[in-house]
Copies of this chain bind each other. A is one copy, B any other.
Amino acid sequence: MPQLKAKSLEMRTPQVTKTAVLVIGGAEDKVHGREILRTFFGRAGASNGYITIIPSASREPAIIGGRYTRIFEEMGAKKVEILDIRERDQCESAETKASLEACSGVFLTGGDQLRLCGVLADTPAMEIIRQRVRAGQLTLAGTSAGAAVMGHHMIAGGGSGETPKRSLVDMATGLGFIPEVIVDQHFHNRNRMGRLISAIAAHPDRLGIGIDEDTCAMFERDGWLQAMGKGSVTIVDPTEVTHTNEPHVGASEPLTVHNLRLHILSHGDRFHLYQRTVLPAVHRISS
Stretch at the interface among A51-59, A126-134, A172-180, A260-268: A260-268
Residue of B nearest to A268 (CB): B256
Complex Cα–Cα for A266 and B235 (A)? 22
Q: How many of chain A's residues touch chain B, expressed as a range?
A: 35 or more
Query: Which of A163, A164, A266 has the most chain B CB atoms inside 10 A of its CB?
Result: A163
A243 within 8 A of B: yes
- Against B, the Cβ 8 Å flags (1 = close, 0 = not) of A253-287 are 11111111111111101000000001011000000
Known: A188-B162, A256-B266, A264-B164. A280 touches B243 (CB 8 A): yes
Determine if B163 and A242 form an interchain contact, defined as CB atoms under 8 angstroms apart.
Answer: no
Copies of this chain assembled into the complex: 2
A residues 150-198 near B (Cβ < 8 Å) are 160-164, 188-191, 193-194, 197
Q: Provide the residues of chain B in CB contact with A245, threshold 8 Å.
A: 266, 280
Min distance, Cβ A127 to any Cβ of chain B, angstroms: 36
Determine if B255 and A278 form an interchain contact, defined as CB atoms under 8 angstroms apart.
Answer: no
Complex Cα–Cα for A164 and B187 (A)? 11
Known: A232-B255, A243-B280, A269-B256. A163 touches B212 (CB 8 A): yes
- Give which listed residue, B163, B230, B258, contacts A278 with CB less than 8 A: B258
Task: Give me 17 other A-B pairs in contact (C-beta within 8 A), A163-B212, A254-B266 excluded.
Answer: A160-B191, A161-B189, A162-B188, A162-B189, A163-B189, A163-B266, A164-B188, A164-B232, A191-B193, A230-B254, A231-B254, A245-B280, A256-B281, A257-B264, A259-B278, A260-B263, A262-B262
